[in-house]
Amino acid sequence: MNTEVSQIGGLEVEIVRKKIKNLHIGCYPPEGRVRVAAPELVTTDAIRLAVLTRIPWIKRKQAQFLQQERQSPRRYVSGETHFLFGRPLRLEVQVWGKKVHRVSRRSGERLLLNVPMNSNADQLHRWMNAWYKAELRKLVAPRIETWAMRMGVQPEKWGIRSMKTKWGSCNPNKGIVWLNAELAKKPEKMIDYVIVHELAHFVSSRHDELFTSVLDREMPSWRQLQRELNALPLAAWEAHD
C-alpha cells in the first residue's frame, strides 16, 4: 500500500493506492478530511479528475461536519453525564484506598467510578474507555452470532476498536469485522444497524444494489437508523485519543 498527499482543486487529498478494483473518494469527520483509495494502476491524472468532479459533494460534506453537534470533552468528574447504549448516566467519582479501579452501574441511572488516590485524567479516560469496550462486547457478541446465522454469513473474527471516521469496517476476504468503540454510547437499535451493515459486506464488498437489497431484506428501517445515527453528536477528539 502506497500513501501520498496531493493538492487538488484547493483541497489537501490523501491518496492511498492498494490492491482494489474501484476508486473510492471519502470525506471524513471531524473536519472533512478527503481520502482517495485507488487501484494501483490508476493514473494521477485520473485520480485528480475524479476528485475535481466530486468537489461540490465534498464541499457539502465538509459544511455538514462543521455544523455537526459535538460532545464537550469529558473531564471525568462527579456530576458529569455519560451515555451507555443511548441512556444518560450521571458519573460519580470516588477515591478509595485500593490500588485498582472499578467502574460499576448503580440504581437511579448512576455510574460509579472508584479510583486510587492521585489518579489523573488520562488514567480515568483509559479506564472508562476499557469499560465501554467491555460493555459493548457483552452486548454485541450474541447479536453478531444471531445476525450472522440469520444472514447466512460466517465472519472469522470480530473486534472493537477506536475509529474516528467509521462506525464499523469489514474485510470480507479475511473474514474480519470491526466495530467502533463509540457505539457503546449509541442506542441498541443503531448498533444492530451497524452490525447488519458490516455483515452485508460478506454478500457484497461494495455499496451496490446487492448490498442494499440485503439491508432492505434484513432491516427495512436501515435508512432511518443510518440518518439518526449520523445525526447524533460526535465524540470530541481529545488529545489522548
Is position 192 within any domain?
yes
pTM higher than 0.75: no
Q: What is the pLDDT of residue 28?
A: 81
* Greater model confidence, 1 or 145: 145
Contacts 24+ apart (CB under 8 A), 202-206: 202/151, 202/153, 202/154, 202/155, 202/170, 202/172, 202/175, 203/151, 203/153, 205/170, 205/172, 206/22
Instruction: Provide the residue range defining the domain that includes 133.
Output: 81-231
Q: Would you state the cell numbers that stand for residue 103, as one nine-digit string?
A: 467502574
**DSSP of 11-23, one letter per residue?**
EEEEEEEES-SS-
Q: What is the tens place of the pLDDT at every residue in 69-97?
A: 556 677 899 999 999 999 999 999 999 99
Q: What is the tens place of the pLDDT at every residue in 4-51?
A: 889 999 999 999 998 899 999 998 866 688 999 999 999 999 999 999
DSSP 184: G
Q: Count of domains in the chain?
A: 2
Is position 72 within any domain?
no
Do 47 and 107 lie in a common domain? no
Do 60 and 85 lie in a common domain? no
Is position 73 within any domain?
no
Is position 76 within any domain?
no
Q: What is the tens place of the pLDDT at every residue in 109-120?
A: 999 999 999 999
